[in-house]
Chain A
Amino acid sequence: MSVERPRIALAGNPNVGKSTLFNALTGLRQHTGNWAGKTVATAKGEYRWRGVDYELIDLPGTYSLAAHSEEERVARDYIESGRAEVVVVVCDATCLERSLILVLQVLEFTGRVVVCVNLMDEAARLGVEVDVTALSDRLGVPVVAAAAGDGIGLDDLRCAIEKLVKGEGEPAPAPERAPEQRVSLAERYARQVLRGQEESRLRRQRRLDRLLTSKSTGIPIMLLLLGAVVWLTVAGANLPSALLTKLFASIGTWLEGLLAGAPAWLSGLLLDGVWRVTAWVVAVMLPPMAIFFPLFTLLEDLGYLPRVAFVLDHAFQKARTCGKQALCMCMSLGCNACGVTGCRIIDSPRERLIAILTSSLVPCNGKFPTLIALITLFFVGGRSGLLPSIEGAALLLGVLVLGVAGTLACSRFLSATVLKGMPSSFALELPPFRKPRVGQVLVRSVLDRTLFVLGRAVTVAAPAGAVIWLTANITVGDATILAHCTGFLDPFARLFGLDGVILMAFLLGWPANEIVLPVMLMAYLATGSLVEFDNLAALGQLLTQHGWTWLTAACTMLFSLFHWPCSTTCLTIYKETGSLKWTAAAVALPTALGLGLCLALNCAAHLLGVA
């Protein structure tokens, strides 16, 4: 067999730390988290060991190779094809018996297997030990103990792989067994190689589980946790945002000096258009994201997200969809495009499509700054301090809950109309709580998520800034292009409690939700450029001068919550569904909902005379 560049496949149950092991071996940074189904596609990487390059393939996590779901098909096809010279089956030491069922099944396909018993550290905390030598004797293949999160056992694993690659002869696959036989064999092996008691520790886990999911405490704790995350984001982002704004203002002055000799249109385009919009996006977006993502990742690492899905499942059952949709919804909270990709964890095509179509109904991080600003200005009275920040967070939490309600209502609507059907079967694993690796979480969430999303926002904000500046500065007839457009949209927008400028801002904000507010300001100021605001009060004054009332703010927030997905999300939806029709539906659904709610609110307020 060629040893040019041996291919090694990683297989295993979902959530056994396969991705962590993959990252540890290759030095790559695939997203990891404590819930089943994160690895939605096969990832490839490589590592070097004693002068030989190895290619490593991370297969999706599966409970079996029976090919019932997409992931199982992918994993089975890969292992069956014999493309991998060695298959590493990763086991969970805290749940060895179940892991062994898959090991036995893989052994029926190939004898070139290394078993890696991962999460030994967690098992030790639970008071459990695994006798790997005894297990190796029984399975007839090398078994390595590892704790991939701390880098323990990696070299042993690399050695075992090397031995198998260099070794002569072809170990024969095991004879095929019936599923029940596999289960009972796994049970016997597990009993023979496991030492220790896990009861006391498990009891503590159960207590926490009961607290997080019981009738009286489950939902209040969920709201409190989400509220706390939102409050920390709202309250914590203020100061760094102000500092960044100041910093960018001074850089702007310096750039101004640099461009002093340039023609007016060029410095206007670059400075007032590109630079100011980009600087705004970074200043208002970076701090909330840098707080929200790590907090969220901590909860994810702890294992809380599957509990959320468990608590919310009944509602999704009523909406006739999959309970795993709650996990996609959580992902959408960070970024709608991530939520859409995450929908791959849902097996049933019907339910997956529903989850994709409703993914943009929960507000992504990019909408937070606009929502926070409007809440602070119009509903908390522009005050600052501890109490107003709590009020603001409570209102933002309300907006999030409204988003969840919208998701459920639209899912039910789709289940009853174009995507008729009953919920399919699913089993959701609730993994043991893990102590979050705080340092790792911070680095990962800032580097991988925050900078990734920010980078994407900046790449669209810069050209968008140029386009906006051009529309606001090129005059056709008696007004600028932007003024023509807003004037044209105005009568229509008024029906929904908005105005032409607001609607235009949402249209121009298609590339990124973060730039909606800056576009509004540019249009209102009619100076054709974005003026920096040192404080929110000045912003509030400007909006009030242009006829904003609490109703305008409420309608704008509603429309911000429910309108077309951003361009990245639209593209992702198209990629995932492969259909222009469904992409169009994903645009139409939230837009119709948003316009409908704005119209209703506007009419109700006027009829009741509270506008």
Chain B
Amino acid sequence: MIVEMSKVQVLGPRRLLPETLQCLHTQGILQLRPVSDTPAARPDQMAQRTLRRAPMARADLTKERSLEEICRRLHELLLILPVPEQGIPDKAGLPDVASTDFLSRLEVVEAEIRALNDRRLALEEERDLATRYERILTPLVPLLGELGEATHVETVGILVRRDHPEILRLLKQEVGRITRGAYTMLFRAVDKEEAGVLLTVPREFCRDLSHLLFEQGIAEIRLPGRYASQPFVATLLLLLRRRRELPVEIAAVEVELLRVSRRWSEPLRQAHRMAQDRLARLRAIADCGETDHAFVISGWVPTERCKLLASALEETLQRRVTLLEHAIRREEYDAVPVVLRNPGCVQPFELLLSLLSPPRYGSVDPTPFLACFFPLFFGLMLGDVGYGAIALALALLARKREWGGETGRKVAAIAIASSVSAIVFGVLFGEVFGGLGGLVGFHPILFDRTKAVLAFLGLVLVVGGVHVVLGVGLALWTALRHGEREKTIAKLTTLALILVACLVILACLDYVPLSLAKWALVTVGPLLGVLMTVENYLAPLELLKILGNVLSYARLMALGMASVMLAEVANQMPGLFTVVVGVTVAVLLHAVNFAMGCFSPTIQALRLHYVEFFDKFYQDGGQPYRPFSLAS
């Protein structure tokens, strides 16, 4: 259900505005409403002249900028620090964010953390480089012995593609021409695509060789700055040595960072929250109104908590401020924040509603209906004891292991309800992994889905009809509650026409006397006339849409049949192949069917709610409730 809200105004002497905001912030109940949006300020021009938006003092603006900067710095530091393990943290503390020595203390801590982080980043970069060059250079190590120890030569490493062997031939020709044959070229594959080449040439030809490689677009192995100044062989050895040393050095820095995190994480986090709270209070001033002597804070509060807020204000500010509660007018409904409250077993289904925008204040919260019909539709589609039991086991495991946090807990609760429904319908349809239940004397109680196709179709259409009529009924109830006469008549007429259609169908199926249907048909003309009068001449088309909506529930039967047929195909596999192959294929097919059986029914059940059911009564566009509350 949608919790009833109250529109409130807090009034008091202007000098008490900061204290009042602090009290409201601590209570965390009121959602602020900017004073310009307050309808009371608009119609009365006199009030508009005297009541103005509270301006921010120059000192407050400076404080705001400073707090923003502090928040940014603290956020960055918290991102750098690793999450410390659970346990008793080392004792450390930071002064209040508003105090003068906070910034100087923060600078010291920041310098320590940033120095460690910079060192870690540099080491990681060097490790990545060394890893990259190791891949290229290691295959060339065996070639170094063949080069000899000549000191007047230079060794250059290059990479060439292996799928173009003519490159090497051309390179040999050109290098031979430049050096007049005074060179050594050694070749070795690096991987499937590239080969490494070591070229040793006299020092005086080095420059010409580099020009040649550049002109031909051949990649010379360029080493990082700190290695480049050394001879190629020394560089290679250094790289290999560093490759072994770097992980140890990185681990040491990470241990140090963890030590710092144990000491500073919590104080920094507290300071961050404190800074955020102060910033929020400063910014809230802009939402307040003031006259020459008084302030006004407007907002929304859940009605049941109004008294609590009033007594908190009274106690904290010794009756120097007043809380006024006003009735909410219908035209204000669009701006009223929405709080949903449902029983514990229904609450997880609010997650399914969160895919749409929240319901508008004053309309119907469809969560209880989702909680009833979503598992019902899922069970009708999956309807198998075996698949349901696996889904239930997985859902219970997910809940026990707390996978996915709060959202995971809600998903697990929905999955438990849906899988229990699948097990119940599995018992009714006599299905355990398709027809396997029959082998142990498990028989359908309701009907066999593979044979009673029309009965299954009839069942899902009846369920669809009930669902759609419930939607129209909820629209009628909303119209009645809001005193909308024309809408009430239109919805009543629609329900009457649906009743006539039901009577005609039942008469055709010999469930009711034909004469009753004839009498009912007589009323169709007048009812259509009423409908067109209160709405418009296109209103009867809505009835055709309702018929289409009901037929759409046939998807419950379609997916249910597809699921059981695929299970039957899987069960026939052992008879078609050898036992091992057949059972393997059957298990795989059942696994595919289970995965599809969990995914498709979820989407289809959601669609039936969003399109067929909500279309009748759901009014979206509600504002989520965001109270002015502390981050700490």
Partners in one complex: no
Residue ranges of A at the interface with B (Cβ–Cβ < 8 Å): none
